[in-house]
Amino acid sequence: MAKQKLKEHRINREWCKGCEICVEFCPKNVLAIDKQGKVVALRPEDCIICKMCEQRCPDLAIEIITE
């Protein structure tokens, strides 16, 4: 399987409730909570596409899009 390349962290700001589960369990510290209490991808270049944020999000608000 070829290595996947990250395109974007697609975040649904309407659905995100800012519970910080994705932020805390990201192994590479890619995500953060912004001033509005919603998640943002602060360091997308560090993402290793493990998709744990996607799989642990209780609100189905984050999706990893690959090329």
Partner 1 sequence: MAVKDFIRERFFPHLWCPGCGHGIVMNNMIRAIEKLGVSKNDIVMVSGIGCSSRITGYLDFHTLHTIHGRALAFATGVKMSRPELNVIIPMGDGDALSIGGNHFIHAARRNIDITAIVMNNRIYGMTGGQYSPLSGFGINATTAPYTSIDNDFDVVKLSIAAGASFVARTTTYHVKQMADIIAQAILHKGFSVVEIMSQCPTYFGRKNKQGNAVEMINSYRINTTPKGSKAKKENPSLIERGIFIQEERAEYCKEYDKIIQRATKGNK
**Which residues are at the interface with partner 1 (CB under 8 A)?**
14-15, 17-21, 24-25, 52, 55-61, 63
Nearer to partner 1, 27 or 45 (CB): 27
Q: What minimum distance in Å lies between the beta carbon of 34 and partner 1?
A: 15
Q: Which tokens hold the place of 51? A: 């998709």
Q: What minimum distance in Å lies between the beta carbon of 13 and partner 1?
A: 10
- The answer to whether the beta carbons of residues 24 and 52 sit under 8 Å apart is no
Nearer to partner 1, 39 or 47 (CB): 39
- The answer to whether the beta carbons of residues 46 and 10 sit under 8 Å apart is no
